[in-house]
Structure 1
């Protein structure tokens, strides 16, 4: 399937945005995520916003941002994962700093076509894009899709779960690994969402009780404190690095 960037095909923006969003309602309230809405990234970095086409119909998007990494003060990928990468990209853009790596933030495939290998094609497109732009790395703060079924399991233990063939049990991690991606580390604070208990009730459709609460769509519990009228969700992700040479 052909892959175009919004730099060459700006007319693909609206149908690409229509492919959907990742996550439950509460995930739309990460303040860093609000900074990195797909439309905003498309306007700032259209060359790094890719659209996979079936004919001339968008069937997937792959959104990424360029960052400076590694640098003397950035010797490791951020523990704050997805949020940290967005902050790096914003800092570098404001400072006019030369960028050396690409961070993939979002790969979204049309619902009716999932499971057909299109996400792999989108990732390969990002690899080709990074290589073509002269960047040295492609890194991804991965949100494992199967983790929603094991929200209380530590991410380190979840990542270690393997099938009989040696590949990850998680389907999204498995897709990356089949393309040659290597595990770098767990990002324990990849996304942080805070709100009052009433806000959380609106976001999740139910009340929170003191202590840990499991909510639909969460890959970790929400910690609630009625005395402070506060609910906090801290989501871990997994940093992976892709080679910039062809898969296989």
Structure 2
């Protein structure tokens, strides 16, 4: 059996979680400068929206997730721009005293040695139940489709329409959400923006960028633009918005 618990109830798992839940993410994803102005306030305001999925008996760490509450009117036009905009919106709305009605699931991860056992579904389902019990009536997510990195030249709006013969999304992470009752809403073409020097991008990707140009990078959902004269690399990460029933 498994249970979803607030991270505040299991501080002894924090160090393990910090190690386990970055293993499947590319290094560049942690260098979104737009996140920095809101990171500390998010932790202060919404620490009760961070969770671990653990075994009920031994409290072995299985998965983790976190989200932020916002006010959303259910229209496509009112969706945040993506991950970074959701974070900014949650913080500024909280400070303005705006009552939220929607949880934005920002990230969910299963430890490497427990993947393929249905835990992603367990953590998302448990979070949906907690969201409703907390008085929020909607849950949305800017999802990072895992197989999009195999098609970095394909526009995200087209990619989100790709399906298998059974009608389910081609992407396995989108497929997991849809099987749990989620509906694909809209592309988020600029969900996050990562900038850095050429040297930083070479470190983050393990590649050399000897000339100005557009590059396909490991785990990139789209391409990286390198400008040697300004010593700058620019990567704009696309996501896909979905809504859970």
Residue in structure 2 matching 1:63, options 55, 63, 66? 66
TM-score (norm 1): 0.88
- Inter-partner Cα distance in structure 1 for 2:67 and 2:138: 12
Provide the residue aligned with 1:158 in structure 2.
159
Provide the residue aligned with 2:34 in structure 1.
32
* Cα distance, 1:12–1:40 mapped onto 2, change above 3 Å: farther
Residue in structure 1 matching 2:230, options 228, 231, 238? 228
Structure 1 position 94, deviation (Å): 2.5
CA shift digits 1:174-220 (9 cap, x unpaired): 00000110011000100101122222222222232322101112111
- Inter-partner Cα distance in structure 1 for 2:234 and 2:195: 5
* Equivalent runs, 1:55-134 vs 2, <5 Å: 55=57, 56-70=59-73, 75-78=77-80, 80-134=81-135
Confirm or deny: 8 A CA contact 1:28 1:34 kept in the other structure.
Answer: no
- Inter-partner Cα distance in structure 2 for 1:228 and 1:120: 44
Residue in structure 1 matching 2:242, options 233, 240, 243? 240
* Cα distance, 1:99–1:10 mapped onto 2, change above 3 Å: farther
- Inter-partner Cα distance in structure 2 for 1:48 and 1:195: 30
CA shift digits 1:58-92 (9 cap, x unpaired): 110111111122399x95202x3011101111212
Provide the residue aligned with 2:197 in structure 1.
196
Can you give the 5+ residue segments of structure 1 that lack an aligned partner in the other structure? 244-248
* Cα distance, 1:158–1:231 mapped onto 2, change above 3 Å: same
Confirm or deny: 8 A CA contact 1:53 1:59 kept in the other structure.
Answer: yes
Structure 1 position 57, deviation (Å): 0.8
* Cα distance, 1:176–1:166 mapped onto 2, change above 3 Å: same
- Count matched residues: 240
RMSD: 2.3
